[in-house]
Structure 1
Amino acid sequence: LLIRRSVAETEDRVRGELLDDLLADPAASAHRDPGSLTLRARRLGVDLARPHAVAVVDCEPALRSRLAAEATRVVRGLGGLAGTRQGRTVLLVPCDRARTLAQDLAAGLARGIGAPVTVGTAGPATAPDRHAALHTEALRCLTALHALGRTGEGADVAALGFIGVLLGDRADIAAHVDRVLGPVLAYDAERGTELVRTLHAYYDQGASLARAKDALHVHVNTVVQRLDRVAQLLGPDWNTPDSALELHLALRLHQLSRTDPGTPAPAPGATGRTA
């Protein structure tokens, strides 16, 4: 038994090292040889000519080591690779549909460890030099799932709707958020107010003042006064249907930019200063 365990641990380490090399940035790996990677993978029973997706899986911190072991066991049966990068378990799995893979992994791994598992995926792709980009996208998807309150689900970027579309190209997201939400962010930063948090609660509660004040634990007049201030900063048309959609999107993107991967975003009213 000890010999078998030692062999299994050695093989898992070798498979993890191969995954690290596959996910390394090709531009930063001057001596990276795709042919060598393909040969190493073949020796481990992994056919890189098949389409592969990258999945980043996460759960509550106390169970992450258990999740890593369970994910390694599962992915071995699927003919893929498992390893750890940036504190998260990463899988390279042969598949045709990344979204289906994410959903299956989230459900199966949750049963295996007895706790919710969140899975972000990207792909599939057949070229080994695409895997690094897939890992970045899968991690971005995982971060978005947590920030959107969808912890315990599995998805790819395309399943995130309009936010997923924007996450596909992050070049102008900061500028977009600043253009739409800038005056409110600046006002909060300068005065220590909670206009952004109030807007989150207002939209999350279906634009209901009554439900927003309950979520924020303040009087309804406080919510009204804060939204009046938002109107002064953004203009009287801030809550028309078109403007509200753009503003809500900017709020979500701002939330994503402030959320650490693996840390669920707090619900309105859960943290922050009282009114």
Structure 2
Amino acid sequence: MEGTSEELFALANAIAAVTGGSVAVEDLDRRVLAYSALPDQRIDELRRRGILERRVPDQAEQPAQYREVLAAPGVMRLPTLAEDELPRAAVAIRAGDLPLGTIWAIEGPDGLDPAGERAMRDGARLAALHILRRRSAQELELRAREDGLRDALHGGGRTADLRYALGLPERPRLVLVGLTPLRLPADEPPSVVRLAAAAARHWAAVHGEAAVAAVGRTVYVLLAEVGPAAARRLAEQAVAALGPSGGGLVRAAVSRPAEDLEAVPALRAEVDDVLRVISADPGCAAVAGLTDVHARVLLAKVADELARRPELRHPAVEAMLAHDREHRTEYARSVAAWLDAVGSVATAAERVGVHPNTLKYRLRRAGQLFGLDLEHPDDRLSAWLQLRLAL
């Protein structure tokens, strides 16, 4: 937990020794970073619960009290919020004008004297230095992991150096997760910057050893010593958590497992293929692996190759599509429906909305006009792939 160490616990004990009551050091999210543990300190049930849960229990008037404490220049004495609650004093932890947290002290039997106030003010200054030091160290570690993951994604760097930067054992079990916003044609492209920032915060909280790096429109997360099922659960949690903070709906792809950092570029290619499919279709599952969308990924690869090398396109299909565009005929749609129906004329005719005899005529004419051989399985497959992508 951020800012937690023996130094903060010792600081809480030192303040409690002067104030006479239990002391808690909290961050801005009201998490208890450290607490005093002196044998004779005053303590109440609310403080016990905060220590056990490592978070201050919610009370209706709390937000207003925290705002007052963070705005006050010094120590504030606050009214109790429940009958069994002991009086408290609080002071903000700041670095200049930047708020970092708060210190709360239960007052001793005689209240808070000047020595107690001074101890709280001095303690707040020391806590600020400590939290900033801890935060800087964590940020440096996160940056090293980010740089290491980016190098691994591109296949660069020495394996030993990357393992050290990522904090990995010699033969780690790795799974790569990719996150990207759902992209719809009519919408503005979602901000990947917001998603990257939200993803870094999320993974730091739920899986501190994860390495997170944004490359292009994708946020990549490298998980070590996590099985495929656990990685998928973590990805599902991330999608649910990051949608609102990331600026829109989020899609996640989960790679196959690997045991070598040199496999990371291949894992990235796999994740990119899956994200390409699921981020462009709102009907797809929010989280998927290659086995979930294998057929669609394969079709996308075929489409890429046909676009890159037009000479590979079936000449009869090209001629049929051109004829339909020019003469407003429906030979291509009829052939595609028949292929989709695995050769069932009745089913295909119903899908196209014509009589079965009309469909038979169109199939026969397609062979006569364009030289399309629907009797040959290779020609059927080639025609179906191209029509599947064209229509």
Settle same-fold status: TM greater than 0.5.
yes
* Residue equivalent to 1:125: 258
Asked whether the 8 Å contact 2:180–2:279 carries over to 1, the reply is: no
Letter in 2 for 1:56: G
Residues 96-152 of structure 1, C-alpha deviation per residue, up to 9 Å, x if partnerless? Answer: 21x763465246413432453222222211211110111011101222335676444
2:199 and 2:149 map into 1 onto residues whose CA distance is: 14
Tell me whether 1:96 sits opposite 2:227 in the alignment: yes
* Residue equivalent to 1:272: none
SS at match of 1:126: coil
Paired residues in the alignment total 235
Shift of 1:226: 7.7
Tell me whether 1:157 sits opposite 2:290 in the alignment: yes
2:267 and 2:253 map into 1 onto residues whose CA distance is: 10
Aligned in 2, Cα 1:23/1:133: closer, same or farther, shift over 3 Å? same
Shift of 1:35: 0.8
SS at match of 1:123: coil
1:227 and 1:93 map into 2 onto residues whose CA distance is: 53
Aligned in 2, Cα 1:40/1:9: closer, same or farther, shift over 3 Å? closer
1:162 and 1:8 map into 2 onto residues whose CA distance is: 42
Pairs within 5 Å for 1:1-275 = 1=99, 3=132, 11-25=141-155, 29=156, 32-42=157-167, 46-47=168-169, 49-60=171-182, 61-76=189-204, 77-78=206-207, 79-94=209-224, 95-97=226-228, 101-102=231-232, 104-106=234-236, 108-114=238-244, 115-146=248-279, 150-162=283-295, 166=298, 174=306, 181-185=314-318, 187-188=320-321, 192=325, 198=333, 202=337, 230=366, 232=368, 233=370, 234-237=372-375, 247-251=383-387, 254=389
Aligned in 2, Cα 1:202/1:90: closer, same or farther, shift over 3 Å? farther
SS at match of 1:125: coil
SS at match of 1:93: strand
2:140 and 2:146 map into 1 onto residues whose CA distance is: 10
Letter in 2 for 1:50: P
Shift of 1:189: 5.8
| More relative contact order, 1 or 2 (CA 8 Å, 6+ apart) | 1
Q: State the TM-score, normalized to the length of structure 2.
A: 0.46
Asked whether the 8 Å contact 2:255–2:267 carries over to 1, the reply is: yes
Asked whether the 8 Å contact 1:70–1:113 carries over to 2, the reply is: no
Query: Does 64-73 or 136-145 show the bigger shift?
Result: 64-73
Asked whether the 8 Å contact 1:118–1:154 carries over to 2, the reply is: yes
RMSD (Å) for aligned C-alpha atoms: 4.7
Aligned in 2, Cα 1:245/1:183: closer, same or farther, shift over 3 Å? closer
Name which one, 1 or 2, has greater alpha-carbon Rg: 2
Gaps of 5+ in 2: 1-98, 101-131, 183-188, 342-346
1:103 and 1:186 map into 2 onto residues whose CA distance is: 48
Q: Which of the two has greater helix per residue?
A: 1
1:96 and 1:139 map into 2 onto residues whose CA distance is: 20
Shift of 1:65: 3.3
1:182 and 1:119 map into 2 onto residues whose CA distance is: 38
Residues 23-78 of structure 1, C-alpha deviation per residue, up to 9 Å, x if partnerless? Answer: 113xxx4xx21111111112xxx557331111222223325333323322333322
Asked whether the 8 Å contact 2:152–2:265 carries over to 1, the reply is: yes
Letter in 1 for 2:373: G
Gaps of 5+ in 1: 214-218, 256-267, 269-275
SS at match of 1:50: coil
Letter in 2 for 1:62: P
Aligned in 2, Cα 1:186/1:149: closer, same or farther, shift over 3 Å? farther
2:174 and 2:241 map into 1 onto residues whose CA distance is: 24
